[in-house]
Amino acid sequence: MLLFGGIYIWVLDVPMLQPELIWMLAGERMSEGFSMYIDIIDDTGPLSATVYWMIHVLFGKNLFAYKLLGGLVIFFQIAYINGLFIRYKSFDENTYIPALVLVVLFHFSFDILTLSPALMGSTFIVLALGQLFSQTVLQKEGSDSILLVGIFGGIAACFHFPLVIFLPYLIVAGVTVSGFNFNQFLLSLLGYFLPIIGCGLYYFWIDGLPEFVIQYIFATRVIDVYYHVQFLDLILLLIAPFSFAAAGYFIGTVFKLITVNQQKQKQLIILFLLFALLTIFLTNRRTPYQFVILLPGLTYFITQIFLYLQRGFLLQFFSISFLISIPLIGFGWTNYQKASGKIDSYAVAFSEKHRETAGKSILVLGNDLGYYQQAKLATPYLNYNLSKGILRDFNNFAEMAAVYQDFLKEKPEMIIDEDGLFEQLVERIPLLENSYLKKSEGIYVLK
């Protein structure tokens, strides 16, 4: 794990990613007393934003802290999933092969290793999966585990909204595989909505419920997707893990008879993978780290290759090709992205022009986040795709008045206007012209 991660971080020298800088800016702004969704326009989950706030308080704008904490979460997932398979006898023998498989899978792309909302949220989906596994072996009703299934699923959705797709998974898996009765079904639903209602009540208390609903829950429908990575790149990264998983499924089905409990667990994992794939349609950023939720399910099937394949030559072939191909594809893809310049659509570019904003409070109306690397966000407009809908609502006088108040209160020292949006704002709100001077094309400075 240290070897593969070290190659990405220190040898390939992967730069800071745009989502990472967004999370840092959100955490920095929350540490200054601003509230998510009200004073910070972004679709980061409320619990994820809280984690980023705590990271900023403890470590500041420190990228290594995100890598270190991400590594700790990954280590927990590996240990928990391997222990889960041992505890509930998913395989005939107790083995650490699932842990090794998962270590390799976690390095299929460099961005998996950072502390993303998807990684944090998937941890709670894994915990919910563990409670469902417990229902496959217990012959008595376990109300506590049924409640925890829902609570863990709800917490996951509060970290990363696309994981809300696991609500129907928990229902379908609970009823068809684990055999929930009606009372257990209602109990799991109650547990699921408790964390979400808790977040909603908090934002209702601080007069931010509409903002929470629009920016977090409905954001997928109202903003454009950030296409950080091409679709073909995702296929390249995922084709090997899925190929090995398909081989494992075939080997496990053909060469091994399994118990009733193992059959239930297999059904849970198949449903898990199907619903995990559906989460991609709810994401606002097309990135490899969104697929981290697939890894536990892929691990289950890939492990069967190494447990059930008896022929020495084939086992050796699969072992070597798995251990080498997946990290190597990830390393090669990363190197190609850097060499070709394609990584600029995902990473934060930093050049001489970005030094001009160092130490200043600024606002970037566009997608060049390099200006923020040594600067601070002023005004709530962090996520440009979400913000431009507000800033371009010229016919809504109440909205325009609120926008003017934001600029008047925080007074960004410099505004980077990539799309000409601020120029249109100045025409609609002439008072802004009294405060800002156009220094050059797309650059405005405070008078």
Task: Please write the tens of the pLDDT for every residue from 300-326.
Answer: 999 999 998 877 788 899 999 999 999
Q: Is 70 exceeded by the pLDDT of residue 253?
A: yes
Q: Cα dist. 234→209, 329, 404, 414 in Å? A: 36, 11, 41, 37
Tokens 């249109």 label which residue?
Answer: 424
**How much is the pLDDT for 260?**
84
| 172-182 pLDDT per residue, tens | 888 887 777 88
| 103-118 pLDDT per residue, tens | 999 999 999 999 999 9
Q: What whole-number distance in Å separates Cα of residue 396 and Cα of residue 399?
A: 5
Sign of torsion, CA 91 97 100 101?
negative
338 or 121, higher pLDDT: 121
Tell me the one-letter amino acid at 173. A
> How many CB atoms are located within 10 Å of the residue 22 CB?
24
Confidence of residue 3 (pLDDT cuts 50, 70, 90): low
**How much is the pLDDT for 159?**
97
Give the DSSP per-residue string, 3-42: HHHHIIIIIS-PPPBHHHHHHHHHHHHHHTTPPBTTTB--
| 257-267 pLDDT per residue, tens | 788 888 999 99
**How much is the pLDDT for 151?**
96
Phi first, then psi: give them for residue 219, nearest 5 degrees: -60, -35
Q: Is 70 exceeded by the pLDDT of residue 410?
A: yes
Question: What is the average per-residue pLDDT within 35-39?
Answer: 95
361 three-class SS: strand
Question: What is the average per-residue pLDDT within 54-80?
Answer: 95
Confidence of residue 272 (pLDDT cuts 50, 70, 90): very high
Q: Is 80 exceeded by the pLDDT of residue 233?
A: yes
